[in-house]
Amino acid sequence: MNWILLIIGGLFETGFAISLGKAQQTSGKEFYLWILAFAIFVCASMFLLYKSMGGEHAIPVGTAYAVWGAIGAIGTIIAGIILFKEPMGFWRLFFLTTLIISVVGLQIVSSKA
């Protein structure tokens, strides 16, 4: 259950990064709505990170933070490519893939510890 909370928290981290990107592209009332979305996403993300590190099946803080940050980074890169038309070159995708492999590896070794 803690891994599920952590994954959802990482997705909310993607949400708060996207919200900041969208806020930079807007003004007026729309700007404030994106800032409100940012505040909601960041609170939810931090709360789920916190919850994933506690309880009977707690994820170690170092692993939880690394995985949470990586999920947010991966989601933000993918969203940037799709929503903000950011470049999608070979090296960018190569290192994104190595990041994904690293996150999976951390999950595997943490569940065996």
Domain residues of the chain, as ranges?
Answer: 2-112
Query: Which pLDDT does position 9 carry in this prediction?
Result: 97
**Helices marked H in 25-113:** 28-52, 61-83, 90-112
Query: Which pLDDT does position 107 carry in this prediction?
Result: 76
The model's pLDDT over 20-74, given as tens digits with 9 standing for 90+, comes to 999 999 999 999 999 999 999 999 999 999 999 998 889 989 889 998 999 999 9
Q: Is 26 helix (H, G, I), strand (E, B) or coil?
A: coil
Query: Which pLDDT does position 28 carry in this prediction?
Result: 96
Query: Which pLDDT does position 113 carry in this prediction?
Result: 53
CB-based burial label for 62 (10 Å; 0-12, 13-18, 19+): exposed
pTM for the whole thing? 0.84
Query: Which pLDDT does position 31 carry in this prediction?
Result: 97
